[in-house]
Amino acid sequence: MDAHSHGAGQLVYAAAGALATTTERGTWVAPANRVTWTPPGFQHAHRFYGETDVRLVVIPVDLCGELAEQPSVFAVSPLLREVLLALTDRPETRPGAHDRLRAVAIDELVEAREQSLHLPEPGDDRLRAVTDRLHADPSHNATLVELGRAVGASERTLSRLFHTELGMSFHRWRTILRIHHGLIHLTNGRSVTETATACGWSNPTSFIEAFTEVVGQTPGRYQADLRNEIR
């Protein structure tokens, strides 16, 4: 879905598959155990991966004040999942039923941990030259020194820019980038070993450890859940 904005807030939930939401502040990826939140007025685009079952829930402007002021990704509790499915699966048969379900969804989101697979994008030209190279080939294992030589900046300058502009280290940013690509490969049916190699890990064990730390479940568990959701 090309770049657009809404006058109201929007929850987008991939009940199966995976979803990427992109704004000027970067890209968020949400597998099926997470939901994306886009506040009113934010220009954004969506991309979907795998056999995706997408649910859209509009949050009226007067209810948005309790939720985050910036695009976010939240963990989906079993209750929140059922509420999102109910809001999008069945017509409203009793007056106010959807309003009450929306109120439950907001309560759950207020309590939910933000689990933001957010990949911020830089404004600095030197840093953007580095991140563009990594986007083009996530498996590229160049050091920050080597990347600095290629773009005409010192390692020290680039390291500082990663922290000041993106709020994380070079290593962390590249790990999140690789996890983004890993989620897409796994959603599209590639094996854990193939995905680890394609995304630049030296062995599947290192990939499994990084994926589990960031996503909250192993790659194998993620793919098993995908198969269950598609059924």
For residue 190, the model assigns a pLDDT of 92
Residue 201 has pLDDT above 90, yes or no: yes
Read off the pLDDT band of 31 (50, 70, 90): confident
Residue 230 has pLDDT above 60, yes or no: no
For the CA atoms of 136, 141, 143, 149, the dihedral, rounded to the nearest 10 degrees, stands at -50
The model's pTM: 0.78
pLDDT of 85-130, one tens digit each?
Answer: 999 988 888 898 999 999 999 999 988 777 667 888 899 999 999 9
- Nearest CA among 207, 206, 130, 200 for reference residue 161: 130
DSSP state of 139: T
Asked which of 27-36, 62-71, 178-187 is least confident by mean pLDDT, the reply is 27-36
How many Cα atoms occupy the beta-carbon half-sphere of 7 within 13 Å?
0
Secondary structure of residue 202 in the 3-state scheme:
coil
Model pLDDT, residue 88: 93
pLDDT-based confidence at residue 155 (cuts at 50, 70, 90): very high
Distances (CA, A) of 184 to 29, 46, 95, 187, 227: 9, 14, 40, 5, 15
Task: Give the contacts of 218 (CB within 8 A, at least 6 positions apart).
Answer: 208, 211, 212
Give the chain's radius of gyration (CA, Å). 19
Q: What is the pLDDT of residue 75?
A: 84
* CB neighbour list of residue 109: distance below 8 Å, 6 or more residues apart: 11, 35, 37, 67, 74, 80
CA 166-28-230 angle, to 5 degrees, is: 155
Contact between residue 44 and residue 71 where contact means Cβ atoms under 8 Å apart: yes
**57 membership: H or E segment, kind and range:** strand 45-59
